Structure 1
Amino acid sequence: MLSMLDISKAREMLKGVIHRTPLDYSTTFSRLAGCNVYLKMECFQKTGSFKVRGAYTKIRMLSEEERSRGVITASAGNHAQGVAYASRILKIPCTVVMPLNASPAKVSATRAYGAEIVFHGSIYDQAWEKAMEIAREQGKTFIHAFDDASVIAGQGTIGLEIMEDMPSIDVIIVPVGGGGLAAGIALAVKSIKPDVRIVGVQSKAFSAMKESLEQGRVVEVSNGSTIADGISVRKPGELTLSILKRYMDHIATVDDDAIVKAMFLLMERAKVVVEPAGAVGLAYLLNAPDVDLRGKNIAVVLSGGNVDMFLLGQIVHKGLVGIGRLIRISVQLVDRPGEFKRVVDTIAASRVNIVDVIHDRLGQDVKVGNAKVILSLEAEDMEHAERLMMMLKEQGIKYELLS
């Protein structure tokens, strides 16, 4: 069984290689959650994710003969970058098998660290099979993303840092996919202070660890799709499950709407960009219906910041809509001078900003002699938007709320 000694050794190996990421107190999230919230900023880690801790620890422990043959892994994201970065530092040949639909940004980042990229399959499982095939044929060492003692030890160094920075911590909330991060942190923290609660959070679409803990055995689960691709793991590890059976106090799930809200609030209030998988802990904390956290000292691990820029644009849009800051309405008007001015004057009187206007006379759903106007509007909050809706009704302006 993995021990605290292994995590301490990993920490020594990682000195000078990775960042010691900050544990920052957040006034905003403390107020929103009703407890003292500290954010563990692994989104600021080298390669943009905690994964480099475990990857470097594992590769550093290989024999000279194993190093000479090189390493290989399968990943479409953070683990790929962590393995590639660690291999570059240690001057070890590295191959990463990625699905054909992997994000171009993540492919580019992995290649920039010096890895040879092999594309295979459309899903991770197919890439994994190809990586194992290459490993057997060429004698390369496969670097598992989570179910490996050395990898878990590397991730556990996060727990040591949290306890040193905040010895009075009561609860640590950790994202869970395959379980490597949670297992390492749980083992480290419980070895220092057994009464600290470890809470794991998964996506509702991939709740394999939750189901496995409840059934006492490894269970494969996939209930659809999620934006949190970093924790989209159908089947947790045997080793990670055995550790979390002993040390995990509670495990919960969140949906994509909660993740979007947490990512948006992190950007707007904390000025921090976090990927969906990295935001699940905060998404849970802002709701947390099943655990009483009021007044406690809570550390939330923001595990990564490698978010696709196109997805980020969607997050901003949906976040603004979700809190009532951005609304879209459609208004049909008689096409004559002064009609649109009446709408604009009402909007201006309510102190709502017009962001965008689409004026359509030729659409199939526009009556002859009418014009349809679609407006994107910026309000202060939901209450402000509702006041505008009331003013439009009072002015006899008929509208359809689009979003």
Structure 2
Amino acid sequence: MYVMMCQQQQAPSSSPAAASSSPRVVPSSAVKASLPKHLQHHQHISRQRSASTGDYIANYITPDSGNSTNSNRMPAEGGTGGTPDPIPPSTPPTTITTTTTMSAKEEALFDPWCDPKNPRVLNFQDVSAAAFKIKSGIMNTPCTRSHLSNLTNMEIFFKKEFNQYTGSFKERGARYTLLMLSEEQQKKGVIAASAGNHALALCYHGQDLGIPVTVVMPLVAPIMKVQACRQYGANIIVKGNDIGECREFALRMAKEQSLLYINGYDHPHILAGQGTMGLEIVEQVPNIDAVVIPVGGGGLVAGVALAVKALYPHVKVIGVESERCASFSAAMKAGRPVYVKAESTLADGLAVPMVGVNAFATARNLVDKVVTVKEEWIAISILRLVETEKAVVEGAGATALAAILAGELQELKGKRVVIPLCGGNIDTTVLGRCLERGLAADGRLVKFTVTVSDRPGGIAELTRLLANLGVSIKDMVHERAWIRSDIFSVEVKVMAETRDFDHWLELKSALEARYQQLRFATPNSIH
């Protein structure tokens, strides 16, 4: 298996002692021999590809020299000339120095693992090392052909990360980061700020590895997730109105109690852990043409793009964001992570106002395209997955599929495409709303107001018309007092279910032919 090559190399460590010496690099011949036969040719090609496709990760090994190289030098943000090398992920944060004097507050909130002045660019060796370290504690999730392939005219494969024990891909990075702690730090513990999947993953694997975990969760965090984290034996602190306030509190607490703060989407070991999904994808689905990945803070797209492009440089890596928080698109335009306003979205797991500095530095030359999708298409995707795949997936996990259903990726028609369904932790009440929103956007749940005669048989005539058309009435309310028509009329508000959009058009035509006062409420329809 591809991860066996890691047995011959030293994985990067968080401990200063381990990081004081350079990581051992496997000779190129050994790496090639350790890969499956169908990957050996592409591993050779990946070392030859041009800088335009990101050869800084491809040339992680100089042929026959055993020396690590990095041909794409990322300038430090805010620097004054020159192009210094990014700090390698194995360097301990204690060695990082900044030339800018920070205020007391800035210093208290500074995360040395995610320094915008010194972004860390990962290489393929980091991901392969992570794959070996976590393989005994993480599920190799299935990647199966989807029933939606015929509908989309693509050969779609779903990587079902919602099958992980805590329901998301976040377990990969969380476990690897915990495994990379020094013995001293394992005793002291770690801390994070999260309201969702990162918290669950960290708490579960912290309990499994015997490492104390503290999570600061906002007041608006779902009670179900708060209780689940507590059941894993973690110290849960509910404080702050949003995740930003939680982060500030967690960073201060980390410094006061010598805890390691773990950024859920930008810590270098988190990125390396998430990238192991990419290694599984290329092994499970041969001859892929593209991988379409949801993008929030950028950790998943950075790790997967790194793994896939190193082995298959021709494979397209496409990121998808909600239009209500397009932080990665903004970063690509600006050339660096920038702040954007994060609005309320069904894909709440992607609502990160600024992408991670390490994630962006790693992914910027590897991601071929980034698209945004409307909320209606995210709701449609959740609905389609329930109906066709019998899979309950949260909004963030369904966002990549939304781009395909919305027709944003026409160039992938006839191609073999892999989509990670990266999380299934959705509240049951929210799921119900998402399904209703999806039905409405699909033209299968309609709402209209019609004025009918208030004489005996008036409403019965309306219901008979709907029954003859095969329309199912879900709700009906009539109003007599607050209408402007004559006193012998009644206003009826109806919510009904149709088979599809064409059926809705048939209903609309029949009602318009029979009633003069008619209003349809069809907001946010995709048609």
Q: Deviations over 1:237-270 (max 9, x none)?
A: 2211111123111112112122111111111222
Q: Is the 8 A contact 2:450 2:519 kept in 1?
A: yes
Query: CA-atom RMSD, angstroms?
Result: 1.8
The yes-or-no answer on 1:229 pairing with 2:364 is: no
Partner of 1:74: 193
Q: Deviations over 1:320-360 (max 9, x none)?
A: 11222111222323322111221122112212122222233
Alignment partners' CA distance in 1, 2:453 and 2:234: 62
The yes-or-no answer on 1:20 pairing with 2:146 is: no
Alignment partners' CA distance in 1, 2:487 and 2:226: 52
Q: Output the amino acid matched with 1:14.
A: I
Match of 1:7 among 127, 133, 154: 127
Q: Output the amino acid matched with 1:368.
A: I
Partner of 1:211: 330
Structure 1 residues 3-402: aligned runs within 5 Å: 3-28=123-148, 30-222=149-341, 224-289=343-408, 292-363=411-482, 368-396=487-515, 398-402=517-521
- Shift of residue 128 of structure 1? 0.3
Q: Deviations over 1:64-114 (max 9, x none)?
A: 110111111001111111111110101111110011111222212222222
Larger radius of gyration between Structure 1 and Structure 2: 2
Alignment partners' CA distance in 1, 2:252 and 2:184: 20
Alignment partners' CA distance in 2, 1:390 and 1:364: 24
158-167 vs 284-293, which moves further: 284-293
- Shift of residue 367 of structure 1? 5.1
Q: Output the amino acid matched with 2:143.
A: L
Alignment partners' CA distance in 2, 1:343 and 1:233: 48
The TM-score with structure 2 as length reference comes to 0.73
Distance 1:387 1:290, change over 3 A: closer
**Equivalent residue of 1:21, what SS?**
coil
Distance 1:217 1:111, change over 3 A: same
Alignment partners' CA distance in 2, 1:317 and 1:365: 31
Q: Output the amino acid matched with 2:147.
A: T
359-368 vs 294-303, which moves further: 359-368
158-167 vs 391-400, which moves further: 391-400
Alignment partners' CA distance in 1, 2:269 and 2:373: 29
Distance 1:351 1:397, change over 3 A: farther
Percent of matched pairs sharing the same residue: 39
The TM-score with structure 1 as length reference comes to 0.95
Q: Output the amino acid matched with 2:466.
A: I
**Equivalent residue of 1:47, what SS?**
coil
- Shift of residue 294 of structure 1? 1.3
Distance 1:366 1:100, change over 3 A: farther
**Equivalent residue of 2:391, what SS?**
coil
- Shift of residue 365 of structure 1? 6.0
Alignment partners' CA distance in 2, 1:400 and 1:288: 30
Q: Output the amino acid matched with 1:234.
A: P
**Equivalent residue of 2:265, what SS?**
coil
Alignment partners' CA distance in 2, 1:355 and 1:207: 36
State how many pairs are aligned.
402
Larger RCO: 1 or 2 (CA < 8 Å, sep 6+)? 1
Alignment partners' CA distance in 2, 1:242 and 1:154: 17
Alignment partners' CA distance in 2, 1:328 and 1:5: 56
Q: Is the 8 A contact 2:342 2:352 kept in 1?
A: no
**Equivalent residue of 1:225, what SS?**
coil
**Equivalent residue of 2:256, what SS?**
helix
Gaps of 5+ in 2: 1-87, 89-121, 523-527
